[in-house]
Amino acid sequence: DAKTTQPNSMESNEEEPVHLPCNHSTISGTDYIHWYRQLPSQGPEYVIHGLTSNVNNRMASLAIAEDRKSSTLILHRATLRDAAVYYCILRDGIYNQGGKLIFGQGTELSVKP
Amino acid sequence: DTEVTQTPKHLVMGMTNKKSLKCEQHMGHRAMYWYKQKAKKPPELMFVYSYEKLSINESVPSRFSPECPNSSLLNLHLHALQPEDSALYLCASSQDQGRVQPQHFGDGTRLSIL
């Protein structure tokens, strides 16, 4: 399984943008990049995913490097509710292995008022 | 509010007890998952069911026995657990096992083994 590397922790101020980096230098051509987050005392929550192009949804944006060896999750205006552990995950291109979410250590984001 | 419902929320059991964890979803999803999460660690996949058949077993000890009686329900039967099995057990579901399908998680059952 391809591995991802994220900083252990990051801090942000409320209402400012946050850029959460992820390195995945061994990504294969068919791996999708997924981001999940886990708020305290809750199960993980899907945030966004992409393959090659940048993606936007109501929660965040995902910027993918041209060589796909890194990506960045962008929260446009952090709120206190965004304090969570953010996981960057590669999902295998083989169908029956695609269900496997292999969580790394993630980045713990704290948001200051 | 989560669309994947897990019961009970908390469970305390002795090492000789038999208990079951239950997970339910009504989103029409055909893939369901069990994960285990120890404190301050990321979730680890245990089992994957696809169309009510066991698809992936991540070498989980036999004291954990999954069951998928229908497309909406997933159980995890527990027997003769060890203290190190104390953890948060998370259930998830997705449309299918494909790599683009988001997984929807419940809030878990916090299990303590005495």
- pLDDT of B102-112, one tens digit each? 999 999 999 99
- Cβ-defined contact of A100 to B45 (cutoff 8 Å): yes
- Cβ-defined contact of B48 to A43 (cutoff 8 Å): no
Angle at B31 between CA A50 and CA A103, to 5 degrees: 50
- pLDDT-derived band of residue A100, with 50, 70 and 90 as boundaries? confident
B9-45 confidence digits (pLDDT tens): 999 999 999 999 999 999 999 999 999 999 999 999 9
Q: Is the pLDDT of residue B1 over 60?
A: no
A57-67 confidence digits (pLDDT tens): 999 999 999 99
Interface subset of B 21-60, CB within 8 angstroms of A? 31, 33, 35, 42-45, 48, 50, 55-56
Q: What is the mean pLDDT of chain B?
A: 94
A20-56 confidence digits (pLDDT tens): 999 999 998 888 999 999 999 999 999 999 999 999 9
Q: Range with the lowest mean pLDDT among A85-89, A92-96, B66-70?
A: A92-96
Q: Is the pLDDT of residue B94 over 80?
A: yes
A108 touches chain B (CB under 8 A): no
For residue A2, count other CB atoms closer than 10 A to its CB.
15
- Which of B60, B99, B101, B110 is the best residue to mutate to test the A interface, defined by the most A CB atoms within 10 Å of its own CB? B99
- Cβ-defined contact of A44 to B43 (cutoff 8 Å): yes
- pLDDT-derived band of residue B58, with 50, 70 and 90 as boundaries? very high
B87 touches chain A (CB under 8 A): no
- Cβ-defined contact of A103 to B2 (cutoff 8 Å): no
B67 touches chain A (CB under 8 A): no
